[in-house]
C-alpha cells in the first residue's frame, strides 16, 4: 500500500492520480485506491481539505495529483448578480458547501443534491437543474486553501490553531 503523509510542491510532476468525492477530500485519514487501482492510505494533517489539482507525496517518492470526482449536485443559475449573491447568502446561512462560478452566461451555484434546497433556490428565482459534476465548494474566508481556522477556538485541538472545515456534510439539514 502506498502511504501518503505530506503534500508535494504544487509544481511537482504527478505520476499518479487520486479521484475523490468532496466528502472523501475532507478526510485526513482514508484508505482508498488510486485511479490505477493501487491501494493507498492517506495520513494527512487533521483539518486538511484536498482540492482538485493538489499534489501529494507518497512515501516512495511518487507524486499523486488529486482530482474531484463527478457527483450528484444541483446547479442553480442566473444572469442576475444580486440574485446570485442572495441565493449564496441563503445557502451559506444554512452552512451548505457551495461552489460559485461566473461565466459569460452569468452565475452558477453548485451544491450537493438536495431537493429542499433546490426548491429554495427556485423560489428565489434561479433556474435549478440536477447534474453529475465535480464538486469544489468554496473553502471559507478564514483559511484559504485548506479549510478554515477561526480565532475563536474552532480547531481540531480546540485551541484555535490550524485549519478546520466545518461539518459541511450535515449541510442544509437545520
pLDDT tens digits for range 40-74: 999 999 989 999 999 999 999 999 999 999 999 99
What top-level class would CATH report for the domain 2-68? mainly beta
Within this chain, domains 2-68 and 70-134 share the same CATH topology:
no
Angle at which helices 81-93 and 115-124 cross, to 10°: 150
Sorted by where each begins, the domain ranges of the chain are: 2-68, 70-134
Residues 6+ apart with CB under 8 A from 55: 7, 8, 9, 10, 12, 14, 63, 64, 65, 66
Q: How far is CA 22 from CA 47, 65, 80, 151, 169, in A?
A: 14, 15, 28, 25, 9
Q: Does residue 173 register a pLDDT over 50?
A: no
Q: Please tell me which residue, 107 or 141, carries the higher pLDDT value.
A: 107
Provide the pLDDT confidence category of residue 167 given band limits of 50, 70 and 90: very low
Q: Which of the four CATH numbers 1.10.10.10, 3.30.70.790, 3.40.50.740, 3.40.630.10 does domain 70-134 have?
A: 3.30.70.790
Cα torsion 26, 173, 148, 108 to 10°: value is 90
Dig out the grid coordinates for 140 from the structure. 471559507
Q: Does residue 85 register a pLDDT over 70?
A: yes
Instruction: Note the pLDDT tens digit of each residue in 130-161.
Output: 999 999 999 876 544 443 333 333 334 444 33
Dig out the grid coordinates for 71 from the structure. 457527483
pTM, rounded to two decimals:
0.76
pLDDT of residue 98: 96
CA gap 20, 6 in Å, rounded: 17
Amino acid at each position: 500500500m502506498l502511504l501518503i503523509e505530506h503534500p508535494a510542491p504544487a509544481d511537482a510532476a504527478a505520476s499518479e492520480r487520486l479521484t475523490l468525492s468532496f466528502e472523501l477530500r475532507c478526510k485526513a485519514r482514508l484508505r482508498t485506491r488510486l485511479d490505477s487501482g493501487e491501494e493507498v492510505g492517506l495520513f494527512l494533517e487533521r483539518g486538511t481539505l484536498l482540492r482538485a489539482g493538489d499534489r501529494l507525496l507518497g512515501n516512495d517518492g511518487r507524486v499523486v495529483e488529486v482530482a474531484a470526482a463527478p457527483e450528484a449536485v444541483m446547479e442553480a443559475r442566473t444572469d442576475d448578480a444580486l440574485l446570485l449573491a442572495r441565493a449564496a447568502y441563503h445557502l451559506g446561512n444554512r452552512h451548505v458547501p457551495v461552489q460559485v462560478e461566473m461565466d459569460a452566461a452569468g452565475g452558477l451555484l453548485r451544491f450537493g443534491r438536495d431537493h429542499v434546497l433546490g426548491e429554495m433556490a427556485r423560489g428565489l428565482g434561479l433556474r435549478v437543474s440536477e447534474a453529475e459534476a465535480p464538486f469544489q465548494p468554496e473553502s471559507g474566508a478564514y483559511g484559504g486553501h485548506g479549510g478554515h481556522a477561526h480565532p475563536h477556538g474552532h480547531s481540531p485541538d480546540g485551541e484555535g490553531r490550524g485549519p478546520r472545515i466545518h461539518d459541511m456534510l450535515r449541510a442544509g439539514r437545520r
